[in-house]
Amino acid sequence: MKIKAIALNTFKEAIRDRILYLLLFFAALCLILSRVLALLTVGDPLKIIRDVGLSAISLFGMLMAILIGTGLVYKEIDKRTIFTLLAKPIHRFQFILGKFLGLIFTLFIMLTLMGIIFQVVIFCYSSQVEWRMFIALGFLFLELCLITSVAIFFSCFSTPILSSLFSLSFYLIGHLSWGLKTLIQKMPPGGGRTLAEGLYIFLPDLEKFNFKTEIIHHLPIPANLLILSSVYGVFYTFFVLALAVLVFRKRDFI
């Protein structure tokens, strides 16, 4: 009940944030303009609409998670409301988990709204519903859960600006780490390759949640790949949340 109360309060606070609706507006605008862009570009218009739409949802979903998530804990500390909360019989892990769940619920609603707009745009063009698109949206939500946990982790000990930069770096590294794997394959055996392999294991691989190519081109998606990606996302998210709780427990607010 304590976690639920904190999550509900976080949700109410998040939906009052103007930046959330500004990002939703621009996301909806990009989704609608994808239909116009498809007419001006050479190629299959429906594939272009899918590509632009999924990219827009991914981009603005990431911005929502980072810009709101990085301020969740810092605002409580800056406004001194953290003292009132911690004076009550609330454990610090309950506070972090409540903040996380509240923002995740907010992102789920925003992602649902963007998904509905996206499906309407596709339906207006092709008169059909793209059911496989929900696979991409589901794993995009899983990626946003991980990004949110990272944003909250940095928010526990840094300012919103630095936390945003750190979280954005995490996002970029996560989507570019595949290049390190290619580099490892070309490196000769030795200490350098071993170090690179260890670094590749440690770094996040957000491309595990990216099924945009398979969805756009109607390629088959192995079931085991979906399961492995789901397990990876859940465990990595809980790992980062555990780190956030450890850092938050060490903080002295006196």
Q: Which residue in 133, 174, 167 sits closest to 152, CA to CA?
A: 167
Query: Mean per-residue pLDDT for 218-233?
Result: 89
Q: What is the DSSP string of 144-201?
A: HHHHHHHHHHHHTTS-HHHHHHHHHHHHHHHHHTHHHHHHHHHSPSSHHHHHHHHHHH
> Which residue type occupies 32?
I
| Termini Cα distance of the chain | 27
Of 75-89, 101-115, 216-230, where does the model show the most confidence?
101-115
Q: Which helix (H) or strand (E) holds 2?
A: helix 2-15
How far is the C-alpha of 12 from the C-alpha of 17, rounded, in Å? 9
205 by DSSP, 3-state: which? coil
pLDDT at 240: 92
Q: Which residue in 179, 171, 235, 180 sits closest to 206, CA to CA?
A: 171
Query: Mean per-residue pLDDT for 1-23?
Result: 83
Q: What are the sequence ranges of the domains in the chain?
A: 2-250
Query: Mean per-residue pLDDT for 217-241?
Result: 89
State yes or no: pLDDT of 231 exceeds 90. Answer: yes
Of 76-80, 130-134, 206-210, which range is least confident? 76-80
Query: Mean per-residue pLDDT for 53-69?
Result: 89
pLDDT at 43: 67
Q: What are phi and psi of 13, to 5 degrees?
A: -70, -40
Q: What is the CA radius of gyration of the chain?
A: 20
Q: CA torsion sign, 101 to 107 to 109 to 112?
A: negative
Mean pLDDT estimate for the chain: 83
State yes or no: pLDDT of 189 exceeds 80. Answer: no
1 by DSSP, 3-state: which? coil
How far is the C-alpha of 64 from the C-alpha of 214, rounded, in Å? 25
State yes or no: pLDDT of 61 exceeds 60. Answer: yes
* Res. 237 pLDDT band, cuts 50 70 90: very high
Q: Write down the residue that tokens 């409301």 correspond to.
A: 81
pTM given for the model = 0.87
**DSSP at 188:** P
* Res. 42 pLDDT band, cuts 50 70 90: low
